[in-house]
Homo-oligomer: A and B are copies of this chain.
Amino acid sequence: MRQLATAEIIAVGSELLTPHRTDTNSLYLTAQLNELGIDVRTKCVVGDNLADLVGMFKLALTRADVVLLTGGLGPTADDVTRDGIAAALNLHLHESAEIVGAIQARFASRGLQMPDINRRQAHVPEGARVLPNANGTAPGLWIDAGEQVVVLLPGPPRELQPIFETHVRPGLASRTGSRQLRRRILKITGRPESGVEQIAQPLYGPMADWPVPVETTILAAPGQIELHLSARGDDAAKIDRVLDEAVTRLASALGDIVFSADGRSLPEVVGQLLLEQGARVAVAESCTGGLVLGRLTDVPGSSSWVIGGVTAYSNDVKIHQLGVAAAMIAEFGAVSEPVARAMADGVRERLAADVSVSVTGIAGPAGGTVEKPVGTVVIATSGPRSLLRTFRFPGDRAMVRTQATQAALDMLRRTLIGA
């Protein structure tokens, strides 16, 4: 049997050809395929157009061992993937009673009747293996086309990902031999990309020439820099040792600006610290309007270490709910170090928390002054240890809010680790 070494990904959907939407499934699939030692050779987006889909699919089949198609499996006439692939491979479609039953049950569990239109989702090309979808009506399909593999997956990530992990990955893994690609990610905050690069490049540069070469990519987002390290080979334990060595060298050079080397997000790291210390947190927010607490409570299980918070968008709320003195706001302004300090202390005391963080700032577009331009943000923490810092973040409203949220979480982390 041919070993599976290359893949092409085709995303189907006219909405992915508009200026405001992007195909993110291919990023997830690429990571998964690379882990199996399968390289992605091309990726494409086609609209809800049978001829374009078939043309692209046939081209992919001339080259790739695996062709993955995502989307276009819905119930409407727009959804052309099943028909297109069956036509291109000369396979008849039949209706699967089993799938019809599963879709009917799905509707019934919500007290609804299956519309007749959903029967299209039960059409299966002859010889295809049905990949059950626990989170939606459209099942995935696995088709062996000679020695090549064609996989159809539904577009929504929460449907696609479990199907891939449960059904597709094992099927591919059994045919990829032992070649593997493994990765590590170092997550960093509180330093711009150029600053990280200056420290990291002299270290990771030579790693590309190690006997097992380590490749490094640097990725920058507002408030977060990531170093992605990867290495490949047949011996997983050996690759892991090499990557561990690379991570150790970089992490020790970068110091406490590295918050995670194991994939955890900043809120997860903060939550873990709170859990370990048996501490509970409260948050007082102004310009971030709830986003700091929103990100903390994204973490499953956060109810054991989050008490809650107050979003004090108006000064009245700062005064009455957080106990900030009106005279202090009048003297220093709502965006000031004394007010941030009073907000952090106030929310900790009133909500009976062990530790707290406050954020007050000017996210824009309006509200800036010469002294306190848009992007000025003051953050305070309160607890066994208290920090206070004024930032000036670049960018528009959304970017300022994202960076302020990230900085607040990082100051919370530093308060907890004593850094």
| A residues lining the B interface (CB < 8 Å) | 14-15, 17-22, 24, 27-28, 30-31, 34, 39-49, 52, 55-56, 59, 62-63, 74-76, 78, 110, 115, 117-118, 135, 156, 158, 193-194, 197-198, 201, 217-220, 226, 228, 280, 283, 285, 287-294, 296-298, 300-303, 306-314, 316-317, 320-321, 350-352, 364-367, 394-399, 401
CB atoms of A317 and B18 under 8 A apart: no
Kindly list chain B residues whose C-beta atoms are within 8 Å of the C-beta of A396.
Answer: 158
Main secondary structure of the interface of A (DSSP, over half): mixed
**Given A194-B75, A301-B366, A310-B311, CB of A44 within 8 Å of CB of B41:** no
On chain B, the residues within 8 Å of A312 by CB distance are: 308
Rounded to whole angstroms, the CA-CA distance of A158 and B393 in the bound complex is 14
Q: A34-B19, A44-B42 known; A313 and B317 CB under 8 Å?
A: no
Which residue of A18, A30, A285, A310 has the most chain B CB atoms within 10 A of its CB atom?
A18
Give bound CA distance, A367 to B63, whole Å. 49
Instruction: Specify which of A31, A293, A320 lies most central, judged by the most chain B CB atoms within 10 Å of its CB.
Output: A293
Knowing A42-B56, A194-B118, A218-B78, say if A19 contacts B31 (CB, 8 Å). yes
Closest chain-B Cβ to A219's Cβ sits at a distance in Å of 5
8 Å CB contact of A290 from B115, B309, B317: B309
Which of A219, A280, A289, A395 counts the most B-chain CB atoms under 10 A from its CB? A289
* A201 proximity list for chain B (CB < 8 A): 76
Nearest-neighbour CB distance to chain B for A368, whole angstroms, equals 12
Given contacts A15-B228, A20-B27, could you give 10 more A-B pairs where the C-beta distance is less than 8 Å?
A17-B40, A18-B217, A19-B31, A42-B47, A42-B52, A158-B396, A288-B294, A289-B294, A294-B294, A310-B310
* Contact of A27 with B19 in the complex, beta carbons under 8 Å: yes
The answer for the CA separation of A31 and B301 in the assembled complex, in Å, is 40
CA distance A118 to B198 in the complex (A): 11
In the complex, what residues of B have CB within 8 A of residue A398's CB? 298
In the complex with contacts A18-B217, A20-B217, A307-B300 CB distance below 8 A: no
A15 to B215: give the CA distance in the assembly, Å. Answer: 12
Return the chain B residue nearest A42 by Cβ: B46
Contact check, B49 vs A41: say whether CB atoms are below 8 A apart: yes
Contact of A313 among B75, B197, B307, B401 (CB under 8 A): B307
Contacts of A15 in B (CB 8 A): 217, 219, 228
* Interchain CB contact under 8 A, A303 and B367: yes
**A398 to B, closest residue via Cβ:** B298
B contact residues around A74 at 8 Å (CB): 193
Query: Contacts A45-B44, A76-B197, A313-B297 given: A22-B19 contact, CB under 8 Å?
Result: no
Ordered by A's residue number, 24 sampled pairs between the chains whose C-beta atoms are within 8 Å are A15-B228, A17-B39, A18-B217, A19-B34, A20-B217, A41-B46, A41-B47, A55-B59, A59-B59, A76-B201, A110-B394, A158-B399, A280-B314, A283-B290, A289-B293, A289-B297, A290-B311, A293-B311, A300-B366, A303-B313, A303-B314, A307-B316, A310-B311, A321-B351
Bound-complex Cα distance A115 to B201 (A) = 13
Q: Which B residues touch A364, using CB under 8 A?
A: 300
